[in-house]
C-alpha cells in the first residue's frame, strides 16, 4: 500500500487522473482492476507463461495439426486437432480412486454445438439440450477402439470429452475427434496402450479416396472408418452399396498404412508435452486364487458346457449353483478378502474352460460346428391388422425379433439439427431391447447408446437396397422389437427388417441378411502373439461375452452393405479380419435362402401416398385461416395432408381414405382439367339435352345425354337427378373454357352380336333382356337377341331426344307443345285395346330404343343371314338420305296419318309418306295389338340424334 501512495505523490497529473498512475485500468461496478504490464517488460517471478506445442503432418491430401497447451490446461490431457478450418478439442480426466465395480467406467461424450457453424439453436431456450443420435454414435466411434487398450484391472473412472470448436463443412469431425482423443490420452498420466490412428476412406468410380469430404461421400459407394495400432486392427465401421468381400479386404489393407500416419505425431507430441504415466492400483486376480477356484469348479463347469441340450437359462442356473458352492467354501475358510473378487474369478475360470474346448476340439456351447448357423424361422406378414403396413418375425436359434414397417409422407422425415450430415432422414430403423427379452427386471428409459448403435447399424445395412427417392417418395420407419436375445439381435433386425419392407410392398433391390462372426484365440502370455485361433460363425450371447471379437457383417448375395467390428483384446491381425469376411458370406447366403423362400418379392399394396401439384394460391385456400380447413379435412377423412411449396402430399391408411381425401381436396381447389382425366362431381341441373355437373373445386361441365350411356336414353331424368354424385371423364375442352363430360366413356362398350333371319320374315327382338352391373354400380342391359315376331306389343311414351342444344331451343320457341299434357295424353289408353303388364320389357327399354333407331330407315334388317345386293344397298342408302333430309323439314307438333311398316316388340316403324320413316315406342306397362298396314294418327314430338322423327299417337278425343 505504501508503494501505491508513493507513486500517487510522484505523479504530476490531476487528482482525478491519478488512478492511472497507480496502474488501475478501469473502474467497473465500483471496483478497480490492475492494468497489465508492458508486453516488452519481463514477466514477474512466479507467473506461468502459456506455452503451446504443435505437430503438423500430412494425411492424404490434407494437412493435420495437433496442438496442446493453449486451452483446457487444467485437464489431465487436452489436444486440439485441426484439418483445414475444422477444429476439435478432446480432453481426458481421471478419478483418483478406484470405482467399486469390476469393470472400466469409461465415459465418452461427443458434443456438436451450433456456434461451430455460426448458428443459434432453434429450441425454445436457444441452447443445446440432450445428446442427439449423431452425438451418441460419434461417441461410440471414439469409445470402441480406445477401450480395449486400457490395462486389465484398471477400474478408475475415466471421462473423455470431444467438442467441435469450428467446422468448415468439408470434413466430418467424428474421425478427427477420435484421433484427438487418442492424442489426449497420450498426453495424460492415465495408463493406456495407445496411440491409435483412425482414418476414413471412400470409393468413387472404383478409386479409393482418403479423407473424403462430405460432398464426396454422397457420391461414394463406400464409407469405411478404420482404427488401428501400428500393427493390429482395433475397430472397423463400414457402410457400402453391396461391395464385394474382395474389394472390401483390399480397402482395409489400404486403410491401415494411412491410419498409421496419425501415430508418430502423437508420440512426438507426448514426448514434448506429455505427463509421466502415474502408477495406478490395478485390481488383479492372483494365480493362487484362480487355481483354487479352478480346482473347485472347472470340472463341473466343463460338464455343463458339454451338454448341448441345455439352453441359455439352464446353463445360467447351473453356473449360479456352482458359484454359490464356491462362495460357501471360501466363507467356511473365512477368506473375506477373496470373497469380494470371487465372482470375477469364477467367470475367469468359466472363460478358460469354454475357450480351451473350442481351441482344442472345436466344441461349441450348444454342440454346433464352428461354421454352423442356428435354425432359422421366418414369417412375413405376421401382423395382419390393416393399419400395419408390413411386418415380419425372424428367429435364429433362441434370438427372436419382430419388425414392423410404417410408411409416411415426405413431411414425416426426421429433422436432424446437426452441423454435419443431411438435414433430414427419410429412412429410420428404431431398435428396442426391452428387459423381458433376457428375463430381467429393468427400467425402460430414453435414448440408450447401445440401442441407438444397434439400430443405426441395421439401418445402414438396409439403406443400400432402398429404392431411389424419386421413385419412392415415402418416409419409412422400421420398429425392431427384440422378443428374445441370445446373440446378435442387431443382425436379426436386419433380416426381419428386410422381410418387413417387402411385406409392406417396398421394391427392394434384394434381400439383406446379417450374421455375427466371433473369434477365440490362444495367446502366448510372454510375447502376446497369437499361437492359434478359431473363427466362429453365428455366435451365441455367451460366446460373444467369452470370445475376442464380435464381427457383424450384413449384405446381399452381391456384396456387403454394413460392417461393425468390436474387439476385446488389444488388437487383432488384419489377416484374421479379412479371413472372417468369407465365413460371414457363407453364413449370409444360408440365411438368405430361408428368407427368400418366405417372401422373395414385394407384396402388392394399395397406394398410400399421392403427390399433387398446385399453385401456392390454391394451397392457401386449402389451408384456410390458421389451418382450420386443412385440419377439418384430416379429421373427416382420417388422411394426413402435407403442404410444401406448390406440392400437396396426401397420406392415407387405405385406398378408400385416399379417395375420400382427394375428393375433398378436389372440391375445394380442384385439379387441372385434362382431357381423358376421370373426375367426380355433383349434378346441379338437368336440361332436356343433358345435365350440368359441378366438380373439381366448383367448375361446371356439360354432360350431354348422348354421353350418358352406350344405349339410347329417352330422358336425362331416367339416369340422373339433381344432387347425384357421379364419376365421369372429361372428353373435350375449348378455348372458351367449356368442358364436355361423358359417362359412357367409363362404361364397357357392348359387343355387337350378329343374328340371322329367314327370308320373308320380319326380325324382332326378344322381349327378355339380361341385366348386368357395370363397374360403377349402375344397371346396364345387355344387347337383345333376334327371335320370332310376337303377337302383341306395348304402348309407351316416346323418347324426347334433341340433336343439339341450339336446335332444342329453336324447337321450343317454334312449338307451344306442353310436355306435361303430352305425357298425359300418351298415357291415355283406348278402351278396346288389351292391356298387359310386362315388367321384363321395361328393363330392356333402352336397348330396344337403339334397335328401333338403327332399323327405322331400312325396310330389312342389316344383320339378316342373306346379304343384300348392290342395287338394294343403293336404294337403302338413298332412302336413308331422303329420310334424314325430309325429317329435318318436319316441325315438332306436326300431325299426320302414318302406316305401320314394321311391328317391333317395343315399338313400331311407321311410313310417314314420301319415303319418310318414323318411330313410335310403346308404353312400358301396357300392350296392344297392331298389324302391318294399319293407319294411325300421329304427331311429331322430337327427333333422334340420327334425325329420325319420333312420333306419338293422337287420341281420338283430340281429333
728 close to 867: Cβ distance less than 8 angstroms: no
The alpha-helical segments, DSSP class H, found in 334-418 are 336-339, 342-361
Could you report the per-residue pLDDT of 103-119, keeping only the tens digit for each? 889 999 999 999 998 88
CA 417 to each of CA 114, 131, 219, 602: distance values in angstroms, whole numbers, following the listed order: 9, 11, 23, 34
Q: What is the DSSP letter of 845?
A: H
User: pLDDT-based confidence at 736, cuts 50/70/90?
Assistant: confident
User: Is 195 strand, coil or helix?
Assistant: coil
User: pLDDT-based confidence at 874, cuts 50/70/90?
Assistant: very low
**Could you tell me which residues are beta bridge partners of residue 335?**
none
Query: Biggest alpha carbon distance in the chain?
Result: 150
Highest mean pLDDT among 216-225, 333-342, 719-728: 216-225
528 close to 229: Cβ distance less than 8 angstroms: no
26 has pLDDT over 80? no
Block residue for cell numbers 486451452 = 71
CA 571 to each of CA 239, 542, 563, 878: distance values in angstroms, whole numbers, following the listed order: 22, 21, 17, 103
Cell representation of residue 654: 387405405
Report pLDDT for 456. 95
685 has pLDDT over 80? yes
Block residue for cell numbers 303388364 = 837
User: pLDDT-based confidence at 651, cuts 50/70/90?
Assistant: confident
As a whole number, mean pLDDT of residues 39-68 equals 77
262 close to 197: Cβ distance less than 8 angstroms: yes
Report pLDDT for 784. 36
Report pLDDT for 748. 86
User: pLDDT-based confidence at 799, cuts 50/70/90?
Assistant: very low
755 has pLDDT over 80? no
380 vs 402: CA distance, rounded Å: 10
* Helix-helix angle 342-361:312-333, to 10 degrees: 130
Q: What is the DSSP string of 906-924?
A: SEEEEEEETTEEEEEEB-T
80 close to 89: Cβ distance less than 8 angstroms: yes
Report pLDDT for 581. 95
Could you report the per-residue pLDDT of 800-846, keeping only the tens digit for each? 443 444 454 555 555 444 434 333 333 333 333 333 333 333 334 44
341 has pLDDT over 70? yes
419 has pLDDT over 90? no
Could you report the per-residue pLDDT of 386-406, keeping only the tens digit for each? 778 899 999 999 999 999 999
As a whole number, mean pLDDT of residues 125-148 equals 92
- Based on its alpha-carbon atoms, the radius of gyration of the chain, rounded to whole angstroms, reads 45
**Residue partners of 770: CB distance under 8 A and separation at least 6:** 781, 782
510 close to 558: Cβ distance less than 8 angstroms: yes
Backbone angles phi, psi at 829, to 5 degrees: -110, 135
User: Is 896 strand, coil or helix?
Assistant: strand
**Could you tell me which residues are beta bridge partners of residue 107?**
159
Q: Which of 138-142, 580-584, 950-954 has the lowest mean pLDDT?
A: 950-954
Q: Percent of the chain beyond pLDDT 70?
A: 79
User: pLDDT-based confidence at 187, cuts 50/70/90?
Assistant: very high
900 has pLDDT over 70? yes
User: pLDDT-based confidence at 950, cuts 50/70/90?
Assistant: confident
- Edge-first strand order for the sheet with 640-644 is 609-613, 647-651, 640-644
**Residue partners of 824: CB distance under 8 A and separation at least 6:** none
Compute CA 81 distance to the chain's CA centroid, rounded to the nearest angstrom.
39
Could you report the per-residue pLDDT of 756-789, keeping only the tens digit for each? 444 444 444 333 333 333 333 333 333 333 333 3
Mean pLDDT of the chain: 80
pTM of the model: 0.69
User: pLDDT-based confidence at 928, cuts 50/70/90?
Assistant: low
Nearest to 358 by CA among 226, 209, 546: 546
Could you report the per-residue pLDDT of 353-389, keeping only the tens digit for each? 999 999 998 889 888 999 999 999 999 999 988 778 8
924 close to 899: Cβ distance less than 8 angstroms: no
Cell representation of residue 225: 472408418
| Number of helical H runs and strand E runs in the chain | 23, 42
194 vs 173: CA distance, rounded Å: 21
Amino acid at each position: 500500500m505504501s508503494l501505491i501512495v508513493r507513486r500517487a505523490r510522484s505523479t504530476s497529473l490531476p487528482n482525478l487522473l491519478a488512478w492511472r498512475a497507480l496502474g488501475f485500468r478501469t473502474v467497473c461496478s465500483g471496483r478497480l482492476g490492475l492494468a497489465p504490464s508492458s508486453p516488452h517488460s519481463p514477466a514477474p517471478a512466479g507467473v506461468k507463461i502459456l506455452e503451446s506445442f504443435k505437430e503438423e503432418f500430412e494425411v492424404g491430401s490434407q494437412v493435420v495439426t495437433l496442438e496442446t497447451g493453449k486451452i483446457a490446461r487444467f485437464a489431465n490431457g487436452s489436444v486440439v486437432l485441426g484439418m483445414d478450418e475444422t477444429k476439435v478439442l478432446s480432453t481426458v480426466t481421471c478419478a483418483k480412486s478406484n470405482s467399486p465395480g469390476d469393470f472400466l467406467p469409461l465415459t465418452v461424450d461427443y458434443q456438436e454445438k451450433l456456434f461451430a457453424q455460426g448458428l443459434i439453436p432453434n429450441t425454445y431456450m436457444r441452447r443445446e439440450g440432450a445428446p442427439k443420435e449423431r452425438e451418441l454414435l460419434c461417441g461410440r466411434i471414439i469409445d470402441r477402439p480406445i477401450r480395449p487398450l486400457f490395462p486389465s484391472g484398471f477400474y478408475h473412472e475415466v471421462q473423455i470429452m470431444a467438442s467441435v470448436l469450428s467446422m468448415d463443412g468439408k470434413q466430418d469431425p467424428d474421425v478427427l475427434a477420435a484421433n484427438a482423443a487418442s492424442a489426449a490420452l497420450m498426453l495424460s498420466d492415465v495408463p493406456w496402450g495407445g496411440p491409435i490412428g483412425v482414418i476414413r476412406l471412400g470409393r468413387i468410380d472404383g478409386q479409393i479416396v482418403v479423407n473424403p469430404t462430405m460432398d464426396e461421400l454422397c457420391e461414394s459407394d463406400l464409407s469405411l472408418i478404420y482404427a488401428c495400432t501400428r500393427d493390429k486392427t482395433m475397430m472397423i465401421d463400414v457402410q457400402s452399396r453391396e461391395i464385394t468381400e474382395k474389394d472390401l479386404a483390399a480397402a482395409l489393407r489400404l486403410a491401415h498404412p494411412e491410419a498409421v500416419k496419425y501415430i508418430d505425431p502423437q508420440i512426438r507430441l507426448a514426448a514434448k508435452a506429455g505427463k509421466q504415466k502415474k502408477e495406478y492400483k490395478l485390481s488383479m486376480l492372483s494365480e493362487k486364487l484362480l487355481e483354487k477356484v479352478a480346482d473347485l469348479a472347472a470340472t463341473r463347469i466343463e460338464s455343463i458346457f458339454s451338454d448341448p441340450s441345455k439352453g441359455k437359462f439352464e446353463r445360467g442356473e447351473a453356473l449360479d449353483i456352482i458359484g454359490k458352492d464356491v462362495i460357501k467354501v471360501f466363507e467356511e475358510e473365512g477368506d473375506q478378502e477373496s470373497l469380494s473378487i470371487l465372482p470375477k474369478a469364477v467367470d475367469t475360470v468359466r472363460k478358460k474352460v469354454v475357450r480351451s474346448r473350442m481351441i482344442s476340439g472345436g466344441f461349441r456351447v450348444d454342440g454346433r460346428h464352428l461354421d454352423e448357423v442356428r435354425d432359422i424361422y421366418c414369417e412375413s406378414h405376421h401382423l395382419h391388422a390393416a393399419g400395419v403396413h408390413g411386418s415380419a418375425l425372424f428367429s435364429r436359434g433362441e434370438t427372436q425379433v419382430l419388425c414392423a414397417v410404417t410408411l409416411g409422407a415426405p413431411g414425416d422425415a426426421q429433422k436432424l439439427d446437426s452441423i454435419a450430415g443431411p438435414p433430414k432422414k427419410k429412412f429410420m430403423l428404431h431398435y428396442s431391447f426391452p428387459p423381458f427379452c433376457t428375463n430381467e427386471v429393468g427400467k425402460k428409459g430414453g435414448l440408450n447408446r447401445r440401442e441407438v448403435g444397434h439400430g443405426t447399424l441395421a439401418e445402414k445395412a438396409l439403406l443400400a437396397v432402398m429404392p431411389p427417392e424419386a421413385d419412392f417418395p415415402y418416409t419409412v420407419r422400421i420398429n425392431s422389437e427384440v422378443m428374445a436375445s441370445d446373440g446378435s439381435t442387431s443382425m436379426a433386425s436386419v433380416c426381419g427388417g428386410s422381410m418387413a419392407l417387402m411385406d409392406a410392398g417396398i421394391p427392394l433391390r434384394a434381400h439383406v441378411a446379417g450374421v455375427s462372426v466371433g473369434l477365440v484365440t490362444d495367446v502366448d502370455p510372454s510375447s502376446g502373439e497369437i499361437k492359434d485361433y478359431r473363427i466362429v460363425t453365428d455366435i451365441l450371447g455367451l460366446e460373444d461375452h467369452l470370445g475376442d471379437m464380435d464381427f457383424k457383417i450384413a449384405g446381399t448375395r452381391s456384396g456387403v452393405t454394413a460392417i461393425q467390428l468390436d474387439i476385446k483384446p488389444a488388437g487383432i491381425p488384419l489377416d484374421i479380419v479379412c479371413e472372417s469376411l468369407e465365413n460371414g458370406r457363407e453364413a449370409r447366403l444360408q440365411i438368405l435362402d430361408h428368407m427368400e423362400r418366405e417372401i422373395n418379392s414385394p407384396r402388392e399394396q394399395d397406394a398410400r401416398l399421392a403427390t399433387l401439384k398446385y399453385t401456392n394460391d390454391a394451397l392457401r385456400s386449402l389451408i384456410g385461416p390458421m389451418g382450420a380447413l386443412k385440419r377439418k379435412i384430416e379429421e373427416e377423412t382420417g388422411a394426413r395432408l402435407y403442404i410444401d411449396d406448390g406440392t400437396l402430399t396426401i397420406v392415407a391408411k387405405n385406398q378408400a381414405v385416399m379417395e375420400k381425401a382427394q375428393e375433398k381436396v378436389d372440391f375445394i381447389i380442384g385439379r387441372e382439367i385434362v382431357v381423358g382425366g376421370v373426375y367426380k362431381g355433383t349434378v346441379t341441373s338437368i336440361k332436356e339435352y343433358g345435365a350440368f355437373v359441378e366438380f373439381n373445386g366448383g367448375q361446371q361441365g356439360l354432360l350431354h345425354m348422348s354421353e350418358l350411356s352406350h344405349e339410347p336414353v329417352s330422358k336425362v331424368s331416367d339416369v340422373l337427378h339433381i344432387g347425384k354424385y357421379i364419376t365421369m371423364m372429361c372428353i373435350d375442352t375449348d378455348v372458351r373454357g367449356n368442358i364436355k363430360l361423358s359417362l359412357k366413356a367409363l362404361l364397357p362398350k357392348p359387343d355387337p352380336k350378329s343374328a340371322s333371319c329367314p327370308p320373308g320374315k320380319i326380325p324382332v327382338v326378344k322381349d327378355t333382356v339380361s341385366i348386368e352391373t357395370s363397374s360403377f354400380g349402375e344397371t346396364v342391359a345387355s344387347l337383345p337377341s333376334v327371335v320370332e315376331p310376337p303377337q302383341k306389343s306395348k304402348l309407351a311414351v316416346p323418347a324426347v331426344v334433341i340433336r343439339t342444344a341450339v336446335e332444342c331451343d329453336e324447337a321450343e320457341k317454334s312449338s307451344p307443345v306442353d310436355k306435361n299434357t303430352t305425357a298425359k295424353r300418351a298415357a291415355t289408353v283406348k278402351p278396346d285395346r288389351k292391356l298387359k303388364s310386362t315388367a321384363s320389357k321395361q328393363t330392356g327399354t333402352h336397348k330396344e330404343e337403339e334397335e328401333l333407331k338403327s332399323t327405322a330407315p331400312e325396310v330389312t334388317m342389316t344383320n339378316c343371314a342373306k346379304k343384300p345386293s348392290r342395287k338394294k344397298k343403293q336404294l337403302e342408302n338413298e332412302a336413308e338420305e331422303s329420310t334424314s333430309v325430309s325429317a329435318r323439314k318436319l316441325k315438332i307438333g306436326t300431325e299426320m296419318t302414318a302406316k305401320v311398316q314394321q311391328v317391333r316388340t317395343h315399338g313400331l316403324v311407321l311410313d310417314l309418306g314420301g319415303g319418310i320413316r318414323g318411330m313410335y315406342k310403346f308404353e312400358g306397362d301396357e300392350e296392344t295389338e297392331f298389324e302391318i298396314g294399319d293407319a294411325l294418327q300421329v304427331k311429331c314430338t322430337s327427333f333422334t340424334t340420327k334425325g329420325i322423327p319420333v312420333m306419338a299417337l293422337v287420341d281420338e278425343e283430340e281429333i
